[in-house]
Amino acid sequence: MKMLIITSGTVIVLVIISHVIHHASTDTRHNTTVLSDASMASARSHEFKTVYHPRSGRETVYQTFDEFGVTPKTDASVPIDAEPWRPFRSCGDFEFSEIALDAALNKAQIDSLLNLISRISEGKTNVTLKNEADLRRAWDNAAEELTPASLGVAVVYNVYR
């Protein structure tokens, strides 16, 4: 018997693979074992065992090959969480934390962004950028306006040693 452990979130799936020898024949050309219909049926009695995290409160599920991976209709016994962002105080806090984490922002960057958001909500400033393309255009315009050199013009720098 072999076991394969698959984890996904809070679900741990143990896949138990049984080798049925007594009803098998060997194909020597390809070095494979061919199982008869009877031995396949007995091997598939409960091939998959799903063990949920203890805190989920869900029972262990035994499934055959045909049942495994087929998701039943939504279980009415599982309550829908009206506030799935908990333990954050608000959905916005949760979304901000996801962005900060994905962007790998450091403490100073997070504080600066939260300060900006606060000033926007108080009406002290506004942000007119709608997306990355707007930001890129603003950077390009600033570079054109603030860069003193242009093609065909020699720029001389005095370097003091």
Spatial distance between the Cα atoms of 8 and 64, rounded to a whole number of angstroms: 20
Spatial distance between the Cα atoms of 1 and 15, rounded to a whole number of angstroms: 10
Q: Would you state the pLDDT for residue 139?
A: 93
Among 7-16, 70-79, 81-90, which range has the highest average pLDDT? 81-90
Spatial distance between the Cα atoms of 97 and 91, rounded to a whole number of angstroms: 10
Spatial distance between the Cα atoms of 63 and 28, rounded to a whole number of angstroms: 32
Residue with tokens 């926007």: 120
Spatial distance between the Cα atoms of 53 and 35, rounded to a whole number of angstroms: 35
pLDDT, tens digit (0-9, with 9 covering 90-100), for 95-143:
999 999 999 999 999 999 999 999 999 999 999 999 999 999 999 999 8
Which strand (E) or helix (H) includes residue 16? strand 11-17
